[in-house]
Each structure stands twice: as structure tokens, then as C-alpha cells.
Amino acid sequence: MADAAAREAKHDVFQAVADPTRRRLLRLLDEGEKPVTALSGHFAMSRTAVSKHLRILADAGLVSERKVGRETRYRMNPDPLLELKRWLSYFEKYWENRMAALKRYVEEDEE
Amino acid sequence: MADAAAREAKHDVFQAVADPTRRRLLRLLDEGEKPVTALSGHFAMSRTAVSKHLRILADAGLVSERKVGRETRYRMNPDPLLELKRWLSYFEKYWENRMAALKRYVEEDEE
DNA sequence: TTGACGTGAAACCAAATGGTTTCGTATAAT
DNA sequence: ATTATACGAAACCATTTGGTTTCACGTCAA
């Protein structure tokens, strides 16, 4: 709890996820734990740059690090995305209405 | 279609929504169409600053403007949030699994 | 033990971001 | 006709961001 707050202190999820590189990183890590080099291979930028993106993701609590020998393995943690999900849910009604409208339209059409 | 692409050309939704001021603006506009001054009253910053945030939201397609007399009324458009929603849905499985796990736990408990 | 590998920290840089103040202009009110 | 209101554009500024290169350090391999 206080832990989660501490983890997310520096960067918030919205900002972390705003960058396309970081979104791709999350996708890659979704496949499983990976060391930095394995990740940076997918990008045009330097390994160091990727490393910095990973730090931002870590600050937002979206990834965790684990040292294994000389490599640092990064693992995804989806939890903070729930905040985003919750924020989005506020606007859910719009699509519900649209769905309802669409449904009505289809049903009228069936007559 | 080409319209939507043009609207969203300058700023993407992820970036637009990354700023807390802009998120609050969307909430306020969710209540209904509002002119700039009515909006900027809720913030510590200048009207001009709010105006610039509104432009960014407009560039992302999240708000539209309508001139009425000497005022410009802004209206929210939730459509681009669907992109965010879609991106998030990719990670839905994590929570589904969690829900499933919770469900199993509760069911076991019922025995 | 001597290298090669995997990495983060540091110093640096250009561009973007989020804010300000000042100004011009169109509309509304007196 | 004059004044007040609502606003965007422009110029400006400090800070943040996203990237680079260089360096030092621990770990694995020969």
C-alpha cells in the first residue's frame, strides 16, 4: 500500500504510458521477463536510452527489476494500469449509450 | 475516417491524457459544453494556459469547438478514448486471471 | 588473469512542454 | 460611440523529455 504509493511516487501511469517506446516495451515484457539487451534490440535507439525508459516504467510501478548474474531482468507488472482503466471507466457510459443505440437500430431493422 | 485521422494528426490520445489538467478538463466538459472562462475558473493557471490545453485536446480529437457570439464553447468528444481502451484491453487477461483466481478462492471457501 | 559482456550513472544536448504576459480583434452592453 | 468582455496569437521563459556518448564496475569465459 504505502509500498505502491512509494513505487508510483516519481512517475504516474498516464505519463509512463504516453510514450510509444514505453508502450512497446510493455508489450515485449508481456511475453515474459527479459534483460535490457534483449529489449533494446527491438529499437533504433541506444541501449542506454531503453534503459532510461525502463527506469521510468519502474518508477510508475509498471515493471520490476531482478538481477541475475551480470544481467538485469525486467518483468512487467500490470497493476498500475488499473488506475488508467478506472479513469477510462468514467467515460464508459458514452460507449454503452452508443451500443444501446446501435442495438436499437439493429432491432428496428429486424422488423 | 480521413477526418478522424486529420483531427488526431498533431497529438495522440495517450499524450493528451497524460496531463492532469487536461484530464480534469475532460471531466468538466463531460458535464456539458462550456466556454473557456467557465473552465479556467477551476484552475490556478491563466485562461491562456487553459486555452492551450484545450487546443491540445482538440488536436487529439477529444474536444470540438463552436463559436457562439464572442465565446468559444468546447464540447467533449470521447471517441479517441476508444484507442486507449483498445490498448488497455490487451492487458485485460491479467485482471481476468485475477478475477478467475479470486472466484476460485471464493468458491473453495464456500465448501 | 585477462578480456569480453551487460549494465547503470553522468554529463551533455536539442526539442518539446507547460506556463507567463502582452497584444489585437470581434462581439456585447451602456 | 464607447467601453467591457471573451478569446486566440505571439513572444518569451524555465523545466522536462528523450536522446546521445563516455565511463566505471561487476560478472562470466578463456
Q: Is the CB of B46 under 7 A from strand D?
A: no
- Which numeric CATH code is attached to B2-78? 1.10.10.10
- Which numeric CATH code is attached to A2-79? 1.10.10.10
Question: A46: how many CB neighbours lie within 10 A of its CB?
Answer: 10
User: How far is A75 from chain B, CA to nearest CA, in Å?
Assistant: 14
| Residues forming a β-bridge with B64 | B75
Q: Which residues contact B77 (CB under 8 A, 6 or more apart)?
A: B61, B62, B63, B64
Distance (Å) of CA A17 to CA B17, B75, B101: 10, 25, 27
Which cell is B55 given?
487546443
B89, with CB counted inside 10 A (0-12, 13-18, 19+), is: exposed
Which cell is B33 given?
459544453
Q: Are B43 and B54 in contact (CB under 8 A)?
A: no
Task: Return the pLDDT at A106.
Answer: 64
Cα A101 from Cα B27, distance rounded (Å): 23
Task: Report the largest interatomic distance among the alpha carbons of chain B, rounded to a whole angstrom.
Answer: 68
CA end-to-end distance (rounded Å), chain B: 54
What confidence tier does B9 reach under pLDDT thresholds 50, 70, 90? low
| Residues forming a β-bridge with A63 | A76
pLDDT in tens, A55-79: 999 999 999 999 999 999 999 999 9
Interface test with A, best of B28, B75, B77, B84 (most A CBs within 10 A): B84
Cα B74 from Cα A25, distance rounded (Å): 35
Which cell is A31 given?
511475453
CA end-to-end distance (rounded Å), chain A: 55
% of chain A with per-residue pLDDT over 90: 75
* Beta-carbon-side half-sphere exposure of residue B86 (alpha carbons within 13 Å): 6
Higher pLDDT, A107 or B58: B58
**Nearest residue for D10, CA–C1':** B48
Which cell is A89 given?
471507466
User: How far is B9 from chain A, CA to nearest CA, in Å?
Assistant: 15
Task: Return the pLDDT at A9.
Answer: 54
Task: Return the pLDDT at B102.
Answer: 63
Q: Are A14 and A84 in contact (CB under 8 A)?
A: yes
Interface test with B, best of A88, A89, A92, A93 (most B CBs within 10 A): A88
Task: Return the pLDDT at B106.
Answer: 63
pLDDT in tens, B28-46: 999 999 999 999 999 999 9
Q: Which protein residues have Cβ within 7 A of any strand C atom? A: A 35-38, 47-48, 51, 54-55, 65, 70-73; B 15, 18-19, 21, 44-46, 48-49, 52-53, 56, 69-70
Query: For chain B, what are the domain ranges?
Result: 2-78
Which residue type sits at B32? G
Partner residue opposite A84 with nearest CB, options B20, B82, B88: B88
**Nearest residue for D9, CA–C1':** B48
Distance in Å, residue B44 CA to nucleotide C28 C1':
27
Task: Return the pLDDT at B11.
Answer: 82
